[in-house]
Amino acid sequence: MTTITGSEQHKASRIPVRNLWLLMLYASDLFRQLGRSHIAVEDNPAEIPDLVATILLHEIALRRRRNLSMGYQTRHAALNRVRGRIDVLYTASHQLLERGRVACHFQDMTLDNPRNRYVRCALERLTPIITKPSLAADCHVMAISLRREGINGGYPDNRELPSVRRFGRHDAADKPMVDAAQLAFELLMPTEDQGQHLLPAPSDNLYWMRRLFEKGIAGFYHVHLAKTTWRISAGKELKWALSDQSAGSAEIFPKMKSDIILEHKMAQQRIIIDTKFNAILTKGWHRDQSLRNSYIYQLYTYIRTQESKADPLSLNAAGLLLHPAVGYMLNEYVVTQGHKIHFATVDMAVDAKTIKRQLLELAHDCAGVAADGLPLHKAVAAI
């Protein structure tokens, strides 16, 4: 087994921003659709903000061709006719009736709604980190155009934000534009070390980092594994193999949900992947380094409870416990009761192409297939 020092394990909590951008991109539902067009972000990870800006500009342009969605805004004004509700106190105190006017509270249709303001703010905040001057200029011009159309308000407050991502049948076309804007805001992450492309330690927000890693890995496999030979699912609920239970147990018995499940159609191999966001090794009772036993028990439970003669893939399913790391690699396995369980890391400090190669090799290794998709025994025979 690879030896890992405590200082190296500490580095696992610090990942270069360019690779976090990569995870955010893969975690985005919008990019999973674009990934089918073979956009190779691994070639130029530093240009990810440029890619997001290009997507955002494209989506805004599409929406403007069919007019941006309008919304209601509450206004207060002195009018020469009644509209909405009369503000009696303001009307009387300012003697508006003597001048033939009345103060009213009313709803007005406007483009200056929280969703359009959210998109315009994304453009303005993304512009400073774009590397291409011409693209930055395009973002600046688009933001000015939106302001000229009346979208002048600030970033939506906490009361308005929920409505930004709530879509109905009449405004579903806004979703790609809002997804791109959200991705732009996620790229704008602060650092604690001036001049270093590092994020604060993930322990500051461990839940967010763990979810990002899980969704990013699932998105990566959705984009890069061929749908003709692989089936990919994320967040799938796993059923306990219960033969009986009491009446009240269903309310309190815990549910199981897998992070990622990969299935290779030709090799007839299922891989249950459980992602964690911490160091893969910890100090053991009688040794300096040990795998975390609770994680192994969890993955083992996922595998064994799914065994069924009616589901042939479940009888020899493999498991993969996947952790991020910085500066080291680990890839080991054990076989127990007919099931192969892998314990591996992906080095998040290397370049994007290497990360891609590591993750693809892990998937093929766990499935027992070569890079060309053939089962290993058939690939050897072909040689």
This prediction's pTM: 0.70
Among 40-49, 152-161, 246-255, the minimum mean pLDDT is found in 40-49
Higher pLDDT, 88 or 279: 88
In the CATH scheme, what architecture does the domain 6-14+203-382 have? 3-Layer(aba) Sandwich (3.40)
If you average pLDDT over residues 368-372, what whole number do you get?
74
Per-residue pLDDT at 379 = 46
Q: Is residue 194 pLDDT above 60, yes or no?
A: no
Residue 227 — φ and ψ, nearest 5°? -70, -20
Domains of the chain, by residue range, sit at 6-14+203-382, 17-69+112-187, 71-110
Per-residue pLDDT at 43 = 61
DSSP-assigned states of every residue in 284-315: -SSSS-EE-HHHHHHHHHHHHTT-BTTBGGGG
Per-residue pLDDT at 7 = 43
Per-residue pLDDT at 1 = 46
**Hey, what are 242's tokens?**
């219960």
pLDDT tens digits, residue range 117-134?
999 999 999 998 888 899
Q: Which of 15, 1, 7, 9 is nearest to 198 (CA)?
A: 15
pLDDT tens digits, residue range 229-288?
999 999 888 888 888 999 889 889 988 999 999 999 999 999 999 999 888 888 877 778
Structure letter (DSSP) for residue 131: S
**Hey, what are 239's tokens?**
């059923």
Q: Is residue 92 pLDDT above 90, yes or no?
A: yes
pLDDT mean across residues, the chain: 83
If you average pLDDT over residues 200-215, what whole number do you get?
70
From residue 274, alpha-carbon distances to 4, 81, 293, 301 in Å are: 21, 65, 14, 12
Per-residue pLDDT at 9 = 43
What whole-number distance in Å separates Cα of residue 29 and Cα of residue 126? 20
Residue 28 — φ and ψ, nearest 5°? -75, 130
Helix (H, G, I), strand (E, B) or coil at 265: coil
CB contact at 8 A, 119 and 177: yes
pLDDT tens digits, residue range 266-278?
999 999 999 998 8
H helix runs in the chain, sequence order: 6-11, 17-27, 29-35, 48-65, 88-93, 114-126, 133-148, 161-164, 175-187, 206-224, 249-252, 293-304, 352-367, 376-382
pLDDT-derived band of residue 199, with 50, 70 and 90 as boundaries? very low
pLDDT-derived band of residue 109, with 50, 70 and 90 as boundaries? confident
CB contact at 8 A, 216 and 24: yes
Per-residue pLDDT at 191 = 41
Exposure class string for 164-176: b at 16+ Cβ within 10 A, else e: beeeeeeeeebeb
